[in-house]
Structure 1
Amino acid sequence: MAPPPQPKQLVLAASSADAGVAAWDLRTGAEDIRLRPCASRPRSLASVADRFLASAQALPAGGNSGTIHFYYWDKPQVAVKSFPAEPIRALIADQEGSYLIGGGSNGNIFLWEVSSGELLHTWHAHYRAVRCLGLYDYLLVSGSEDGTIKVWDLITVLDEQSRLEVQTPYLYSFSQHALPVTDIACFLGAIAISSSEDRTCKIWSLSEGRMLRSISFPTSIDSIALDPRSHIFYAGGRDGKIYVTAMGVDLSFHGRDESSILGALDDHSKAVTSLASSRDGLLLVSGSEDGNVRVWDTRCQQVTRKFKHSQGPVTNVLIVTPQRVNLPPLQPLRKVRSANGEAERQAVLLHRPENDVPIPGNKTFIFMERYLDELQVI
């Protein structure tokens, strides 16, 4: 009996120019579909549990409001348009595709329920624009143009009683970066890595709330991706190189470490704006301001495929396995919360990585017990 066919994996690439989202078959290299229109800034393209694609649109010249587009995999045009209260600079979805989170140009964060489009909560997070977002279980990590990183407990954020019980709305605030934060990635073991225009990547413990390591580079770093097989990450430089970097297994060490750079992948002529690693860590996809997309074999560190997106810079790359399922009609995202305030009563259920470390102060079970008690009273 012949083995079942492997699900198709696609490489997606978007540009800040209105050239659409290009998609190529990762195995054959054939172009699959081009979703139009789309002009997205870095960190503003998100696959929602691989069921559909969401993209926050770059602000047009002279404009003061942006849109978020939803796309189905089998239709080249926009399926749903939403108009948030402010332009969205960063976009991320949880693993289950239940929630979509956007970071705004004015420093606000918006959290929507995907199925209803309901705006569950919005809060002011940073003094300047939110440039990137990362998720680890129920923790949201935000990085800003103001150089700060904040860690948010979404259980506390969404529960009014919990918000009244804490001194600050965030769990941790880090200010060790000297210039804007450009990307954030979260790793098993409650580890987060941030990149910055200050030519460093910093490694953080989300369980201890401290910086573990600062790694210096010869150039500003615009993008990062993790190798799920080991404590290695890739840092996309403004000089066109991708730096292969060791996180360091001795996480009790804290301080500066410039000896962690193991090598560099070099095939772009301009800044590497976006990186994506396959789930098995064997492939790495890079996008650059030179308009090119590269697929790398991480074992031999060689380019296996080359794609050309458009005349404009590539701002986002993703690796997805489209789930072509019959979805209920997608709902536009609300600009403001419902007047009756019922949105705040929604429970947030986020995927917890298996065999991972606990986070001190986990309020998940407390919140869920309180939420279920309230439902029984109604």
Structure 2
Amino acid sequence: MVWLWDLNGESDQPLRKMQGQHRGAVTAVAFSQDGKYAATGDRNGELMLWNVSDGELRYQPLGHHSMVTALHFAQGQLISVSRDNTVRTWRLGTDGAVQMSEIKRRSNEVDQVGVSSDGKYLLDSQGQEMRVLSFPGGLTETIFQNPSQANVFKSFALFSPDNRLVVTTSSSEGILQLWRLDKPRTYEIRQLMPTDRYPATCAAFVPDGTYVIGGSKDRNIYVWPMPSRDEVDLQVMATLTSIGKEVENSQGQVKVIAEMENPPQHPLFAGDVVTMVADPRK
């Protein structure tokens, strides 16, 4: 069953029950930008589109062959993500939905896959690598990677409301990672640490982008303030003083020593983690 609550009301009881139900457990929900429609998906791959005003079921798009894990409305279309390793785009009409495109995912380790607010980009992961793909062609726009010692991306990868940042998790300790999307290189700008170390299961940005909220397997909810625009735009310059000539391990790593400028507004301290981006053109 699908229920609707009024968040501005005083009652904790649902406003209404939607007129119809899925055959399997509901696994994904999304509202259209204007709030007129809601889309739901279930563990069997079934999709449903509802009128929010009266709870009436408008129609059922064809759906997927496996569990629906994420839904997004963008530019008048519905985008559905499934464990059948596909992302499908649906044009919503008056009497039904027409599938417009399909992108094959490389893995389904990340269930809650993000789509940019303008509907132009999609996140897709495989192991320690995350790609930003363009819609509808699925072309790779940029790639970012976890450090070699980190775990693989899992659970979720979501765009911030302004599409400048991405939040992910790859740790069994519930640490969230904030990435700054940039060309030619995307980099991690902050790690968000929970009080108790349990795997993160979900996350969301506040619509105005001031906070990010995360949920963990221990049933706790955490709220973190987002970095300011100045922090996001801050780039610390460094001078390379030494580059090792010998490969140190089987992963092909070399030691690099750099002297960095310490910004007065946000000083770095011993033990701080930074991401160094080397421009190969220089």
Please confirm whether the aligned pair reaches a TM-score higher than 0.5, indicating the same fold. yes
- Match for residue 111 of structure 2 among 154, 175, 182: 182
> In the TM superposition, what whole-angstrom CA distance separates every residue of 1:324-378 from its partner, at most 9, and x where no partner exists?
xxxxxxxxxxxxxxxxxxxxxxxxxxxxxxxxxxxxxxxxxxxxxxxxxxxxxxx
Q: Give the structure with higher Rg (CA).
A: 2
Q: 1:172 to 1:81 in 2, by over 3 A?
A: same
Measured in 1, the distance between the counterparts of 2:86 and 2:38 equals 22
Q: Is the Cα contact below 8 Å between 2:122 and 2:134 reproduced in 1? A: no
Q: Counterparts of 2:119 and 2:22 in 1: how far apart (Å)?
A: 32
Q: RMSD of aligned C-alpha atoms?
A: 2.8
Task: Provide closer, same or farther for how the CA distance between residues 116 and 200 of structure 1 changes in structure 2, counting only shifts above 3 A.
Answer: farther
Larger relative helix fraction: 1
Counterpart check, 1:124 vs 2:62: yes
**1:246 aligned residue (176, 180, 184):** 180
Report the equivalent of 2:159: 226
Q: Could you say if the C-alpha distance between residues 174 and 211 of structure 1 is closer, same or farther in structure 2, counting changes exceeding 3 Å?
A: farther
Q: 1:243 to 1:109 in 2, by over 3 A?
A: same
Deviation at 1:114, TM superposition (A): 1.8
Q: Which runs of 5+ in 2 are unaligned?
A: 229-282
Distance apart, 1:103 and its partner CA: 1.0
* SS of the residue 1:174 aligns to: strand
Correspondence for 1:107 among 42, 45, 53? 45
Q: 1:84 aligns with which of 21, 27, 36?
A: 21
SS in 2 for 1:124: coil
Deviation at 1:101, TM superposition (A): 0.5
Which has the higher relative contact order, 1 or 2, with Cα contacts under 8 A spaced 6 or more apart? 1
Give the aligned residue type for 1:245: W
List per-residue Cα deviations over 1:225-272 (Å, max 9, x = no partner).
Answer: 43335621111335211111122246xxxxxx7x63334222251222
Distance 1:125 1:137 in 2: 19
8 Å CA contact 1:195–1:202 kept in 2: the answer is yes
Cα distance in 2 between the residues matched to 1:173 and 1:216? 25
Q: Kindly, what percent of the aligned residue pairs are identical?
A: 20
The aligned counterpart of 1:75 is 11
Following superposition of structure 1 onto structure 2, how do residues 93-242 of structure 1 map, counting pairs within 5 Å?
A: 93-155=31-93, 158=94, 169-194=98-123, 198-206=127-135, 208-217=137-146, 218-229=151-162, 231-239=164-172, 240-242=174-176
The one-character-per-residue Cα deviations of 1:194-251 (angstroms, maximum 9, x if unpaired) are 355855543222255434234344333212343335621111335211111122246x
Q: Which residue pairs with 1:35 in the alignment? A: none
- Alpha-carbon spacing, 1:215–1:140, altered in 2? closer, same or farther (3 Å): farther
Match of 1:281 in 2: 209
1:116 Cα deviation (Å)?
Answer: 3.0
**Residue 199 and residue 126 in structure 1: after superposition, are their counterparts in 2 closer, same or farther (change >3 A)?**
farther
d(CA) in 2 for partners of 1:211 and 1:126?
Answer: 24
Change (3 A) 1:138 1:223: same
**TM-score when normalising by structure 1:** 0.51
